Amino acid sequence: MSSRILQQDSSLLLTQASEPLVNENFIATNSISTGSPSVSSTGISQVHSLTVTSVSTEAPELGDPTLTQVYNLSPSDITNRRPVVDDASDPNAIIAQEIKEIEQMFGGWPRRAYEVPDGRLVQAEREIESTFGDRVSIDRKAKSLIKFGRSAELGTIGLETVWTVGGNETYVSANTISHISSSSALDTQEIYVEGHTVDSGEFTFVTQTATLSGNTKVSLSTPLARVSRISNNDSTEVAGRVVVYEDTTVSGGVPTDETKIHIDLVDGHQQSFKAATTLSNEDYYVMTGFYGAVSAKQSAAVDFYVEIRNPNGVFLPKACFTASSSGGNSDVSLDPAIIVPKNSDIRVRCETGTNNAVVFGIFKGYLAKVM
């Protein structure tokens, strides 16, 4: 401290000799001057928070950018003006008028390129579409179907199917027709089998072969719900009775329960005789005729019934006719044809008042493919 000014105030207090002497000094600074202070090194940080309230720039300068715009348009409502049709002087207009007149002539049904020329078959195709809602083609299917049968010796009690097994087939609702065998231990031929499998009430046409092992049961590669035809597919004739059946007890190669049999091949014939069949889920059947006759081996009069069972239904007669040994056979051509829906069963049954009569029954027609 270079300079200092002191002020002293002294007060002499006179007291008794025994009391102490007190001296109080009050010192106050008027001005202090120091040299340059020495401060050690230290870090200094500054934080600035800037808020921009308004920024103005000059117009930006762009180079040569490439701009692409993509639009996805979805029309919600479009209205066109009425078309302008030329007058009759245009040859195309004349053709269109002729087509319209032809359509009106045929009830408004357009003729299709794949229709067959037979008028009743064309009508059947149109009736199937109108009744069942399926458009079909006989021409595209290109398959006719003739089913023929011969009865066993008939009794005089009730109706029997025209097939060699006798009585009536017991129809099954599942693929339980599974085995084949022969009454002859010598038969080892290959047999061709036609039938149908079923799934949820819909039938599928199936063909297969099975090799006989005499009296021993042989399993079919594909179990069936319907079997409509079997035939010898070998160069050697079968000697015994060949049967296709549900799995059951057999004696000499033949089921002891006849109700388990669904078709057979008998009497030295190399193909079955069964006037019954089933349609697949892909086909309709247009039946154009049927035939019935009494075998010359027996004098008798026989009534025939063509029966059809639609899906989830019962057999209903769709036609009937008669034949006798004295009056001759019946050969009926159908116009209009009988339409059999897909997934349906067909059979011909007969009845007579003469024991042991034998008859023949045939129905014929064309398969129509569902398009």
Token pair for residue 159? 């109706």
Angle of CA points 20, 24, 29, to nearest 5°: 165
CA distance 217 to 239: 17
Could you give the C-alpha distances from 20 to 332, 340, 371, in angstroms and in order? 167, 150, 141
Instruction: Clarify whether residues 222 and 345 are in a common domain.
Output: no
Residue 118 lies in a domain: yes
Using an 8 Å Cβ cutoff, are 63 and 69 in contact? no
Which among 272, 299, 320 is the end of a domain? 272
Which among 272, 296, 321 is the end of a domain? 272
Instruction: Clarify whether residues 183 and 221 are in a common domain.
Output: yes
For 259, the domain range is: 169-272
Q: Tokens 């079968």 sit at which residue?
A: 238
Instruction: Clarify whether residues 193 and 244 are in a common domain.
Output: yes
Which among 242, 272, 302 is the end of a domain? 272
Residue 57 lies in a domain: no
Instruction: Clarify whether residues 289 and 211 are in a common domain.
Output: no
pTM, two decimals, is 0.70
Instruction: Clarify whether residues 154 and 183 are in a common domain.
Output: no
Buried b (16+ CB within 10 A) or exposed e, 86-106: eeeeeeeeeeeeeeeeeeeee
Instruction: Clarify whether residues 150 and 233 are in a common domain.
Output: no
Q: Are strands 144-150 and 359-370 parallel, antiparallel or unpaired?
A: antiparallel
Instruction: Clarify whether residues 203 and 352 are in a common domain.
Output: no
Residue 23 lies in a domain: no
CATH of the domain at 363: 2.60.120.1330
- Quick one: pLDDT at residue 3? 45
Grouping H, G, I as helix, E, B as strand and the rest as coil, residue 131 is helix
Q: What pLDDT tens digit does each residue of the chain (371 aa) get?
A: 444 444 444 444 444 445 556 666 666 666 666 667 666 666 666 666 667 677 677 776 767 767 777 777 776 777 767 766 555 566 666 667 666 666 655 555 555 555 566 889 999 999 999 999 999 999 999 999 999 999 999 999 999 999 999 999 999 999 999 999 999 999 999 999 999 999 999 999 999 999 999 999 999 999 999 999 999 999 999 999 999 999 999 999 999 999 999 999 998 999 999 999 999 999 999 999 999 999 988 899 999 999 999 998 999 999 999 999 998 999 999 999 999 999 999 999 999 999 999 999 999 999 999 99
Grouping H, G, I as helix, E, B as strand and the rest as coil, residue 241 is coil
Instruction: Clarify whether residues 190 and 158 are in a common domain.
Output: no
Q: Which helix (H) or strand (E) holds 102?
A: helix 91-105
The total number of structural domains in the chain stands at 2
Instruction: Clarify whether residues 111 and 246 are in a common domain.
Output: no
Instruction: Clarify whether residues 200 and 255 are in a common domain.
Output: yes
Instruction: Clarify whether residues 144 and 181 are in a common domain.
Output: no
